[in-house]
Structures are given as structure tokens and as C-alpha cells.
Structure 1
């Protein structure tokens, strides 16, 4: 099946496991834009996505004292309140206009962190959804390995996926529920400065973004000085429920010597939101390798030909996935200061 492109040029790709054509389209999109839409083949039903949004709204509408029982800590799990996260501290006068709830990995259907009272009855549902997201990321990682032509004797299609195998230990993977409220009349809000999520790149390997119809606001920074462009919930000409939006993170870019792009993006207040408008809800799955994974050069000639970049840069200095993530989180939350 041929892909189609939106006005923002982000490709819409149907997943086809083991397909060389699909793998090439994924790698091409990751090299050029760092973003792509999945139009088919995700195995995550729309009913499951809708159900997760129901649970998200249930949590964010619960009393603050209940949310505070699971406040975020340095392990990146829990609830972060309005303005507590600043994704672009150099250019923001205060934190992002959003709340978030981060779930770390589940073990045998159980959360490894305190759950808010509103979500305790739904622990199994949340765990199953997180597992489905992880499986989808593994499918994408196998296709990226195929597209990068990693030899079978070096690991082949499993090179990335095997390093994200949760049976081999914990990772920084996170399922995040997000709530961006509309700006109430009379709020201390400066459109030119304040933002829902400041300009940033993601920290991990692969990110899945689930969005609601008509709740736009995501923008990506085009390469080569192209400026900001909208990444709409539904790309122009696309009909049906919103497709899953995929983007590559810093870690996969570092791992592939910058071949796969980790694109700067942000969430703005669209004009209608500035007048009160509509709340925005989204869900994100951030996929990370197992914490102890060494970020060594990928055994792909396509990657190695790029020379001294990222994991290819120096000999004898190898960081782990956990070290990479810790440095990124410290900057966003000012942990350790």
C-alpha cells in the first residue's frame, strides 16, 4: 500500500510487518522528518483508545488531594501539576500549561508505583494498554532494523527490539496521560510567551501519540530552517478516527549517529483555545531500551558511514540508556539542583 502525505509533508504509512517497502518508508520518514502517521496495522483498537481517554478524563477531573497522593518523583512516575514541567526553560517564563500522569512499566498487570484512587479499579486495563503500546513499538523497531539493513549475524530485525525486551530488566518506558486545559477568561496568560508544551525533543527511542478529534495544537520544527508547521490530529484528506502519530527520540537519533531524526516539537494554544475553546487531551507512550543497554554503534553500514556522530563518536566512552535518560530528565524538572 502506498503512503500519502499531508500538507505538512508528514507521511501516512500503513504498517506491514516484514515488508521491505514499509521498512524503507519508515526509515525515509524518520530521516527526513522524524515523524509519521500510522494509518493501519497498529493492532490497538479505537475502542481501547477511547476507553483510555475516558479514564484520563476521570483522573484529571478528580480532586487535587487525590492527585497529590501520587505526585511525580525522580523516577519519572506520578502526577505533575500545572506549570511544574518546563520543557523549554530558556524561552519560557513559567512551566507548561498542562497536567500529566506518568506510569512506569507494569509487572504482571500491576503498577510499580502508587495509583490515584480514581484509577485503582482500572489497573489491569492500563497495564494491557501499555503492553499493546510496547508491542507496537517493537514492531516499528524491527522495521527500522530491516530498513537499516542490519545483517542477520549481527542481530538483524531483532537488533533494536531485543534491547527493548522488558524480560531483561526495567527501562524508562512511560505511558503518559496529558491534560491541557483551555485558558479561562482573565487568566494571567501571554500568547507570545506561554505555551502548552515548550519546544523539545523526546528522550527515548520511539514515541506513540494518541490524540482526540479537533484537539489540535502540535507543531514540529521543519529541518533546514523551514520553521514551524502544524501536525494536525487528522492529516488533510485522511478520514476516520485519528491515526497514531509516531516520532523518533533523542536516544534513537544518538544511537544511529543522527541518521534517524529526533525532531523538535511543541504544543501551542490554537486561536480558538485562546478564546476559551476546548481542552486538549492526549496520551503518549515513550519507549526506552532496558536501562543497562549500552549505546554502542549500530551494526549498519548506512549508520556507520555517517562517521563520528552520536554513539559512533568516541571509542571507550559508552553510556547506558538509563544514563542518557537521567541527564534529560534532570534538565526538564531541575532535579538535582
Structure 2
């Protein structure tokens, strides 16, 4: 049995709950783990809508002609199709890009509720569903931001929530469908039974176990939807170990849907002086003989996931969060000095710095054109 991530499961679905207590549990999990399971009871996002979103992903990645997807290739606004190996989440340690394909849907227009980007004709009829699912995720993220504000005793309590309202401006929020193909065929046997790290790097073997390189997410928080039985996600513990994150932690096996996995992004960690933890994670190919294999899950076949990356309105200034706990943590841990003002970034500036590092090909192509 694998040693798995010990991530709390929190149910936020009941209006009669003590919201202060739920908020406290949410914040403590965000501080200690950076990841939280949220029970998906169907109140926020019905099980049938999650199922439909995964069916849409299968249609997009397996049935849509490549030419249609290429016409929607991802642009600097982070919207569109990302081909296999196009994104490199861990450029320092990856020789080739991630072993995955993705499609990013930006926020729908607040006035027309239409997507503001090219869409493959084969899924054009699904646009109303996509915008609705996008909005469902948006509303859930607003509830989570509200609870985080309560748990951190932020003044006013809606400080985070108001910064994420669509009516207050455009943001970098993205709904992303992801497809990871089956594990590639084993590489030819080495002439020697032991290969050096240099040899592994030279022939690219170091990349074969990685579907998505080690990284932390960009924005405020991420909602991640996964399918039962499909393994691969790992987080890095405070001691540097990599441990798998089960799709269904104990006690949720019979729920209508696996719990939604929520994790804190770099922006929110930065905003809170590092108090809320943005945890490094990756997606790998867990083998049958691997110590990180989770019972009932396999990493050998195809893998699908859906991520909703929540960002504040782009013009939001990441000024110090008005929370005494956040302020004290920043001063005690050297994140903020009383005598120095931290450089003020906007949410868009924070996002752009990260995109340039991940989409090397996109920005390299621009340099060549110049």
C-alpha cells in the first residue's frame, strides 16, 4: 500500500453549518497542505454536469480533427489548444515538454455570456454547456474565497471575493480540459544495467515518467476534477518526498462524484505573505511495481482531468491583505519588513511572468519573428 497524501476532506455544502468553523478548517488546510478535498455533493456542480464535461473532453481530444484544434492554437491570452509537448511546466528539469494535450477556455463575456476565442466547429454546439460549467466553477470559487476571507479575519470579509467578481473586470481565469495519452512504450535496454544521470538526461529518459512537470499553479486557487481509477497526481511534502493524491480518499468512495480537489495558487500565496501554501505537484506514470501506486488506481492507460484556474480581476493590485494574521506571518518569516514596501504587482503582471516560463515555444517563436 502506497503512502498517500493526508489531505483533509471538507464539506461546505450545508447552509446550516457553522461557517466560521468551516472557514477555519479550510484556512488551516490551506496553510498546512495547500490542498483540500471538497466533497462534491452536487449542490454547487451536479454530478451529471461533471460527467458531461468529461464526455466533452473525450470528444475534443479523440474525435476533433487536428486541423480544427490547430486553428485554435493557444495565444498569449492563455486561451486555446496546447499540443502534445507544447507546454513545459518544469523547464529546468524537462528536456521535452509535458506529455499531455490541453484546451483552455477563457471566461465568457459578462454581457453576452459567449466565449471570446476561436472554438473548433466540432464542439461549437457545446458552447452553452461550456459557459454554464465555467459559471458553476466561478460561483464555487467565490464561495471558497469568501470562506478564506472569513477564516483569515480579513477586513472587509469579502476582500477576496470582490476581487474575483466578473462584473469588476476581465481576469486570467481559465477552464482547462486535459488529456494524457497512455504511457509510451519502454525504451530499449541499456548496454549497461546502470545508466548515469547524465545518460538519462541525454536520451530523455528523465522525461518519460512525467506527464506534467513539477510546478505550482499560477492564480488564486484551482478546482480539479478527476475520474475514478485514473492515477498520476503527486504532491511534494514539506520534507521533499513525492506522494500520490488518491482520486477518492477514504470515506468518499461511494459519493456521486469524487471530491473536488482544491489547491492554493502562487498568487494567493504571494498575496498572503506565504501563509497560504502553494504546493508543488506533478503528474507521473505510476507503474505497477512503483511504490507510489494507489490501490484501485492505474497510471498506464489514458488520463483525463479538468482544472478551473481561478484568478482575480487582472487590474487587481496585490496590496497586502488586510489581515492581522497575514501581516504577522509575513514579518515573522521575513516575507515583509516593516520598513520596506513590497513591490506592487497587478494580477495580470503576476500571471504574465509565469506564462512566459511555461510556454517557451510560444515566446521563442515571437522572438524569431522579431
Q: Secondary structure at the residue paired with 2:309? A: strand
- Taking the aligned partners of 2:216 and 2:5, their CA distance within structure 1 comes to 18
- Taking the aligned partners of 1:142 and 1:39, their CA distance within structure 2 comes to 17
1:263 matched residue in structure 2: 279
- Taking the aligned partners of 1:56 and 1:273, their CA distance within structure 2 comes to 30
- Taking the aligned partners of 2:61 and 2:224, their CA distance within structure 1 comes to 18
1:25-104 counterparts in 2 under 5 A? 25-40=25-40, 43-61=44-62, 62-104=64-106
Question: Residue deviations 1:105-162, cap 9 Å, x none?
Answer: 11133110000112101101000000000110000000000000123xxx22x11000
Q: State the number of aligned residues.
A: 327
- Taking the aligned partners of 1:60 and 1:245, their CA distance within structure 2 comes to 23
Question: Residue deviations 1:202-223, cap 9 Å, x none?
Answer: 0000100000110111000011
Q: Secondary structure at the residue paired with 2:235? A: strand
TM-score (norm 1): 0.91
Distance apart, 1:273 and its partner CA:
11
- Confirm whether residue 217 of structure 1 aligns to residue 232 of structure 2: yes
Distance apart, 1:236 and its partner CA:
2.9
Q: Secondary structure at the residue paired with 2:308? A: strand
Q: Answer whether contact 1:173 1:287 (CA < 8 A) is retained.
A: yes
TM-score (norm 2): 0.83
- Taking the aligned partners of 2:236 and 2:35, their CA distance within structure 1 comes to 11
Question: Residue deviations 1:221-263, cap 9 Å, x none?
Answer: 011x141111111113422221100000000000000000000
In structure 2, relative to structure 1, the CA distance for the partners of 1:193 and 1:7 (3 Å cut) is closer
Q: Answer whether contact 1:205 1:250 (CA < 8 A) is retained.
A: yes
1:286 matched residue in structure 2: 309
- Confirm whether residue 231 of structure 1 aligns to residue 215 of structure 2: no
In structure 2, relative to structure 1, the CA distance for the partners of 1:192 and 1:121 (3 Å cut) is same
In structure 2, relative to structure 1, the CA distance for the partners of 1:237 and 1:190 (3 Å cut) is farther
Q: Secondary structure at the residue paired with 2:39? A: strand
Q: Answer whether contact 1:182 1:273 (CA < 8 A) is retained.
A: no
Q: Answer whether contact 1:56 1:177 (CA < 8 A) is retained.
A: yes
2:324 matched residue in structure 1: 301
- Taking the aligned partners of 1:161 and 1:191, their CA distance within structure 2 comes to 44
1:318 matched residue in structure 2: 344
Q: Answer whether contact 1:97 1:197 (CA < 8 A) is retained.
A: yes
Q: Secondary structure at the residue paired with 1:175? A: strand
- Confirm whether residue 277 of structure 1 aligns to residue 277 of structure 2: no
Q: Answer whether contact 1:27 1:147 (CA < 8 A) is retained.
A: yes
Q: Unaligned regions of 5+ residues in structure 2, if any?
A: 189-202, 291-297, 365-370
- Taking the aligned partners of 1:162 and 1:280, their CA distance within structure 2 comes to 35
2:359 matched residue in structure 1: 333
- Taking the aligned partners of 1:57 and 1:311, their CA distance within structure 2 comes to 50
- Confirm whether residue 208 of structure 1 aligns to residue 223 of structure 2: yes
Q: Which has the larger radius of gyration?
A: 2
Q: Unaligned regions of 5+ residues in structure 1, if any?
A: 1-5
1:130-209 counterparts in 2 under 5 A? 130-151=134-155, 155-156=156-157, 158-185=158-185, 192-194=206-208, 195-209=210-224
2:127 matched residue in structure 1: 123
